Structure 1
Amino acid sequence: MSQEAGTATPEGHTAEGVRRRDFINIAAVSAAGVGAAGTLLPLISQMSASADVLAESSTEVDISAIQPGQAIKAVFRKQPLFIRNLTPAEIEAANKVDVSSLRDPQSLKDRTVDSEKNKKGKENWLITMGVCTHLGCVPQGASEGEVKGEFGGYFCPCHGSHYDTAARIRKGPAPKNLVVPDYEFTTDTVVKIG
């Protein structure tokens, strides 16, 4: 007995019916996929950074006017940033400290020199976030006349954390040194943070 379109097979299905069912399944899965993509695409794209956030993801600062022993405050990602031009005496004082005695052991060289970003020859520039690692207060010591603490660096007036000239925690409740952000010198007088 030949099977013509529309005749029953031993399983009780028609040849034409199987083709229709396959088409309906493929169409349903395709429609679901398009619907899922249409729903997820806007959700995923809204999670990417907006233009104003991307604009703040890096900042450039001209450091030509900062004399040895001076520091400035800048803003990076809506947080204070300290840029200090260390004097030879401050560098010497920081290098004399036994790193193993520190709560968060880092040498001044660890905090100022990075061979991957061409910072050699710029050891006198200390760039840190101006946010105390205890509870996020802004330490003093970057502006003229502010208290620099017992170790000549920064002093957090909120809970009494003292940082040295390398912005390393030396006394008080702060658990870590002031954070050094990613930065690189784009010219001899301009530094790009972020």
Structure 2
Amino acid sequence: MATADTTLPAGAPHSADDVVADPRRRDYMQIGAVAFAGIGAGVIALPLINSMNPSADVLALSSTQVDLSAIQPGQSIKAEFRKQPLFVRNLTPAEIAAAGAVPADSLRDPQTLEERTKAGKTNWLVTLGVCTHLGCVPLGAGEGENKGPFGGYFCPCHGSAYDTAGRIRSGPAPLNLAVPEYEFTSDTAITVG
């Protein structure tokens, strides 16, 4: 009986254990695949992350300039800051005295007028025009509007009344009108935000 020739050509592997792939080629392929996947993930993630950035119109509203020169003592104006009403009030000496006569510890949200205004500029009160109860816009900043029993602001939605310093005095609102970050850029102008 004839036997099969089991001789292999020279250089051919003799068994499965003798088959060894080139390790450098495998490493190159793995690094290439990981790099390709990483670049692909970056290409997909970059527009997604960029879509979460604020739009140009929001960035333009991130600060507001307010000219104070036309606001007479005792007057208020309404402006807009980040799509919310902003009240800027030029307090009279009588309004400043009335706010100072109220002991801060008797208030629901204890703050003095000095804590709510800039040093040396206590006549300028800058607040957001949003009631701290449910977000209604209080009256009192416009000409002839109801200023409430304390001469400041009055929220017509649920009856919260604020004094001339924008502090809550009666009604359901838990906090004073919020004072945003602002600075005087001159004696007659402020930048809010």
2:56 is the alignment partner of 1:14:
no
Read off the aligned partner of 1:82 and give its amino acid letter.
F
Equivalent residues of 1:7, 1:15 under 8 A apart: no
Structure 1 moving runs of 4+ over 4 Å: 5-8, 10-13
SS in 1 for 2:175: coil
Offset from partner CA, 1:165-186 (integer Å, 9 cap, x none): 1000010001111111111111
Partner residue, 1:157: 156
Matches of 2:170 and 2:158, distance apart in 1: 11
Offset from partner CA, 1:100-124 (integer Å, 9 cap, x none): 11111111111002xxxxxx32111
Read off the aligned partner of 2:101 and give its amino acid letter.
K
Partner residue, 2:117: 112
- CA drift of 1:56 comes to 0.7
Partner residue, 1:25: 30
Offset from partner CA, 1:22-46 (integer Å, 9 cap, x none): 1111111111110111111111111
- CA drift of 1:98 comes to 1.2
SS in 2 for 1:186: strand
Change in Cα spacing, 1:143 to 1:23, as seen in structure 2 (3 Å) is same
Partner residue, 1:74: 79
Structure exhibiting the larger radius of gyration computed from Cα positions: 2
Q: How does 1:93-104 map to 2 (within 5 A)?
A: 93-104=98-109
2:184 is the alignment partner of 1:185:
yes
SS in 2 for 1:163: strand
Partner residue, 2:4: none
Q: Percent identity?
A: 66
Structure 2, gaps ≥5 residues long = 1-10
Matches of 1:103 and 1:23, distance apart in 2: 69
Q: How does 1:40-189 map to 2 (within 5 A)?
A: 40-113=45-118, 120-189=119-188
SS in 2 for 1:61: strand
TM-score between the two structures when normalised by the length of structure 1 = 0.88
Read off the aligned partner of 1:78 and give its amino acid letter.
K
TM-score between the two structures when normalised by the length of structure 2 = 0.89
CA RMSD after TM alignment: 2.0
Structure 1, gaps ≥5 residues long = 114-119
Partner residue, 2:40: 35
Aligned residue pairs, count? 183
Offset from partner CA, 1:138-166 (integer Å, 9 cap, x none): 11111121111111100001100000010
Read off the aligned partner of 2:24 and give its amino acid letter.
R
Partner residue, 2:5: none
Matches of 2:177 and 2:27, distance apart in 1: 64
